[in-house]
Amino acid sequence: MQAVKALYKHGKIELLEPLNGVDEAELFIVVLDKKDANGEISRTLIATEKNSEQEFKDIGLASYFDTDEDHDVDWEEVFDVKAG
């Protein structure tokens, strides 16, 4: 996945940076309307600290790892990735 800056003018999109190593891709475009731009950062895009358990809950997979077998396992310890 890459993020590149582009301009849209008169029905055409001009990439301002190359897409490195990409021959074909599906694009998801975020449009920032220049007329309505106020220079403020969207509050919904501000990063928040989460752990992997919260992320699995957010995407609906928490129950996948919440079995009797896994309940008392400290997976961060098993994979030696304890947060400092």
Residue 71 belongs to a domain: yes
CA distances from 1 to 4, 29, 44, 76 (A): 10, 13, 21, 26
Number of domains in the chain: 1
Residue 2 belongs to a domain: no
Residue 29 belongs to a domain: no
| Cβ atoms 65, 56 nearer than 8 A | yes
Residue 57 belongs to a domain: yes
Q: Determine the structural domain holding residue 65 and report its residue range.
A: 44-77
Residue 61 belongs to a domain: yes
Residue 65 belongs to a domain: yes
User: Three-state SS across 7-33?
Assistant: EEECCEEEECCCCCCCCCCCCCCCCCC
pLDDT the model gives residue 39: 61
pLDDT the model gives residue 25: 86
CA distances from 24 to 19, 30, 51 (A): 10, 19, 33
Per-residue pLDDT of the chain (84 residues; tens, 9 = 90+): 788 888 888 888 898 988 888 888 888 888 777 776 666 656 666 666 777 777 777 787 777 667 777 777 887 888 888 766
Residue 72 belongs to a domain: yes
